[in-house]
């Protein structure tokens, strides 16, 4: 049964937040602010924060750089997951994945459906693993960021969450590199 094991210690991780937008700045980035506030409230560390335009090369370069930084455990992007011509975040990030996390999208859409109904199909939220770093690609609305954090990430990024969580498997993410 899912729940919290309070006998286990909380283990903070370092999280980078990338907002993908042609129009946002740090002064008006409500989705980035929503995520950074939740990261802080949960007791994790904000490792980095940036805004890049809706450009495949720039998005991919920033996410790749963060996955290569040993000080960053998780990358969360917000924005660019829709169907308009400028929405290219999944196209930029998915080629970086070594492993896809299909369950993230399924659970995100289930949570979203309960709030916005069939409009959830207009999001291409996705997640995966690259260079032993978890990557979550979220829509650009503050509501969607809340849904993803409150409904999924808060629990999965908490070592106390049972029966399993991402924190307990982090030491084994690169075990394939240690085998001879």
Burial annotation 9-46 (CB, 10 A radius, 16+ → b, else e): eeeebbbbbbbbbeebeeeebebbbbbbebbeebebee
Is 117 contained in some domain? Answer: yes
Is 45 contained in some domain? Answer: yes
Q: At 48, which CATH number?
A: 3.40.980.10
Q: How far apart are CA 85 and CA 54, in angstroms?
A: 10
pLDDT above 60 for 179: no
pLDDT of residue 174: 81
Q: How far apart are CA 143 and CA 140, in angstroms?
A: 9
Is 146 contained in some domain? Answer: yes
Is 62 contained in some domain? Answer: yes
Look-up of token digits 């207009």: 122
Range of the domain at 66: 12-173
pLDDT of residue 2: 84
Start-to-end Cα distance in the chain: 38
Q: What's the total number of domains in the chain?
A: 1
Predicted TM-score of the model (pTM) = 0.96
Is 3 contained in some domain? Answer: no
Is 113 contained in some domain? Answer: yes
- Quick: pLDDT tens for 12-71: 999 999 999 999 999 999 999 999 999 999 999 999 999 999 999 999 999 999 999 999
Q: pLDDT band at 175, cuts 50/70/90?
A: confident
- Quick: pLDDT tens for 109-161: 999 999 999 999 999 999 999 999 999 999 999 999 999 999 999 999 999 99
């Amino acid at each position: 049964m899912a729940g919290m094991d309070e006998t286990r210690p909380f283990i903070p991780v370092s999280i980078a937040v990338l907002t993908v937008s042609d129009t946002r700045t740090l002064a008006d980035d409500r989705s980035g602010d929503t995520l950074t506030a939740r990261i802080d409230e949960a007791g994790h560390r904000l490792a980095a924060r940036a805004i890049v335009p809706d450009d495949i090369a720039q998005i991919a370069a920033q996410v790749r750089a963060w996955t290569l930084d040993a000080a960053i455990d998780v990358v969360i992007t917000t924005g660019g997951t829709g169907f308009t011509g400028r929405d290219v975040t999944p196209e930029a990030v998915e080629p970086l994945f070594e492993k896809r996390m299909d369950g993230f999208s399924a659970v995100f859409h289930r949570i979203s459906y309960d709030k916005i109904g069939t409009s959830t199909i207009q999001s291409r939220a996705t997640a995966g693993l690259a260079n032993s770093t978890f990557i979550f690609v979220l829509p650009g609305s503050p509501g969607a960021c809340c849904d993803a954090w409150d409904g999924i990430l808060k629990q999965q990024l908490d070592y106390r969450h049972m029966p399993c969580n991402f924190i307990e498997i982090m030491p084994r993410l690169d075990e394939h590199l240690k085998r001879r």
